[in-house]
Structure 1
Amino acid sequence: MPVNFSHPEGLLKQTDYSPVAVATGSRLIVLAGQAGVTADFEPAAPDLAGQVRAALHNIAVGVRGAGGAPADIARLTFYIVDWQPSMWEDVLAGIAHAQEVDGFPTPAPPVTIIGVQALFTPDFVVEIEAIAVTD
């Protein structure tokens, strides 16, 4: 596997995601931000957890389409409208679903969450970018 996760001594001990990913592959797959939408550009769910599930599924489709797999994902960046720490459980629920259904690694790759004012349309509450590395 070209991506290995670690928890170097001295960093906050995360249980939900790894703080460090070391990638040794030769191909970089960079995905544009994926929203929690259907292929017809309709919101896949009205809530954050549902849109995280759908956005991560879209990322899995994109990575597979580029010749990789969700296990090759080295980094995820979440853009969440009106972010508050109380939303973390909804994010975790979406990640857990992606791990179970789409084969995302456990623990999750390094995650960054950025709170934003708005996304492309008012119906979108999350957009997720991904970087994957393959051999």
Structure 2
Amino acid sequence: MTNTIIQPEGWAPAKGYANGVLTESGTLYVGGQIGWNAQQIFEKHDFIGQMQQALENILAVVETAGGTAADITRLTWYVIDKKEYLAHQREVGETYRKVLGRNFPAMTMVVVAGLVEDEAQLEIEATAEIIVT
């Protein structure tokens, strides 16, 4: 089986990992995305801003593989501050729909002690099913 590494154009190179891996069967595994931009710079330092950027990063990987938001079948969220997440539920929903629309895949949220990038407030990984032609 041959896998294809998915790297959106213009993104800084991933070091020691892949942003996305597309299998021959069409399953796309999107590595954990955080709230930095294509050049790995944090432009936003608030939870909602970083969440929006992480979701946009996921969508960029999915679209680079030939998919759309509707192809996303699973999201796993890792957040470092449960209270911050809960305090912004309305904004979380609004921001989610702004980026991914009304596609609601299977989701899990895990509260973690920290992430590798100190500035990151959350990390989200995804799985999508892309129709391979």
Calculate the TM-score normalised by the size of structure 1: 0.70
Structure that is richer in strand per residue:
1
Matched residue SS, 1:127: strand
Alpha-carbon deviation of 1:108? 2.0
Aligned to 1:118: 114
Aligned to 1:9: none
Tell me, in whole angstroms, the C-alpha distance in 2 between the residues paired with 1:43 and 1:65: 22
Of 68, 82, 88, 1:90 maps to 88
Structure 2 gaps of 5+ residues are 1-24
Tell me, in whole angstroms, the C-alpha distance in 2 between the residues paired with 1:94 and 1:53: 9
Aligned to 2:128: 132
Aligned to 2:45: 46
CA-to-aligned-CA distance 1:43-64 (integer Å, 9 cap, x gap)? 1311111111000000000000
Question: RMSD of aligned C-alpha atoms?
Answer: 2.0
Matched residue SS, 1:87: helix
CA-to-aligned-CA distance 1:37-84 (integer Å, 9 cap, x gap)? 011211131111111100000000000011111110001100011323
Matched residue SS, 1:61: helix
Tell me, in whole angstroms, the C-alpha distance in 2 between the residues paired with 1:39 and 1:68: 19
Matched residue SS, 1:71: helix
Tell me, in whole angstroms, the C-alpha distance in 2 between the residues paired with 1:122 and 1:38: 15
Question: For residues 1-135 of structure 1, what are the structure 2 equivalents within 5 Å?
Answer: 26-84=25-83, 87-88=85-86, 90=88, 93-100=91-98, 102=99, 104-135=100-131
Do the aligned partners of residues 82 and 94 (structure 1) sit closer, same or farther apart at CA in structure 2, a change above 3 Å counting?
closer
CA-to-aligned-CA distance 1:18-39 (integer Å, 9 cap, x gap)? xxxxxxxx51111000001011
Task: Indicate the percent of aligned positions where both proteins have the same amino acid.
Answer: 31
Tell me, in whole angstroms, the C-alpha distance in 1 between the residues paired with 2:90 and 2:127: 19
Tell me, in whole angstroms, the C-alpha distance in 2 between the residues paired with 1:117 and 1:107: 29
Aligned to 2:19: none
Tell me, in whole angstroms, the C-alpha distance in 2 between the residues paired with 1:91 and 1:52: 12
Calculate the TM-score normalised by the size of structure 2: 0.71
Structure 1 gaps of 5+ residues are 1-25
Alpha-carbon deviation of 1:88? 3.2
Do the aligned partners of residues 52 and 107 (structure 1) sit closer, same or farther apart at CA in structure 2, a change above 3 Å counting?
same
The list of structure 1 runs, each at least 4 consecutive aligned residues, that deviate by more than 4 angstroms after superposition, is none
